[in-house]
Amino acid sequence: MVNKPIRDCFHTVTPYLIVQGADKLIDFLIKAFEARELNRTTDSDGFIRHAEVKLGDSIIECSERREQYPPMQNAIHLYVSDTDESYRRALDAGATSLYEPEDMPYGERSAGVKDPFGNHWYIATWLGTDK
């Protein structure tokens, strides 16, 4: 038996988001990007110590901020099947627009949003060609 260095469903790089309001972040990911919560552990106060959320074929981990782990903003590039629809759902879920959907010269239809926790999401659909 070969020992695998990566857990099933994970990739070599896995984003980890530390926010104030991790439960609300998970709700946002579910509403905006059709994510699915896989795992959640909480401390005695009910705050999320660790959670795993699946978006498409990838996992994002997250937790509630603590004194030794302050919240930090991140930038994430997220491939979706329909940029315009995902952009609209993200705005409906509480995000603010960074830029509206547009076809980019590098072959993607892309949009940008900032979630309620300060993270930037670059939503994209590959168009199949470089311009």
Kindly tell me if the per-residue pLDDT of 40 is higher than 90: yes
Give pTM, 2 decimals: 0.91
Residue 2 lies in a domain: no
Greatest CA separation for the chain: 53
Residue 6 lies in a domain: no
Half-sphere exposure of 70 (CA within 13 A, CB side): 2
Q: Of 92, 62, 93, nearest to 76 (Cα)?
A: 62
Residue 79 lies in a domain: yes
Residue 82 lies in a domain: yes
Residue 23 lies in a domain: yes
Residue 9 lies in a domain: no
Average the pLDDT over 11-31 and give the result: 95
Residue pair 53/59 in contact (Cβ under 8 Å)? The answer is yes
- Which domain does 62 fall in, by range? 16-126
User: Based on the structure, what is the number of domains in the chain?
Assistant: 1
Residue 3 lies in a domain: no
The CATH number given to whatever domain includes residue 93 is 3.10.180.10
- 66-114 pLDDT, tens per residue? 999 999 999 999 999 999 999 999 999 999 999 999 999 999 999 999 9
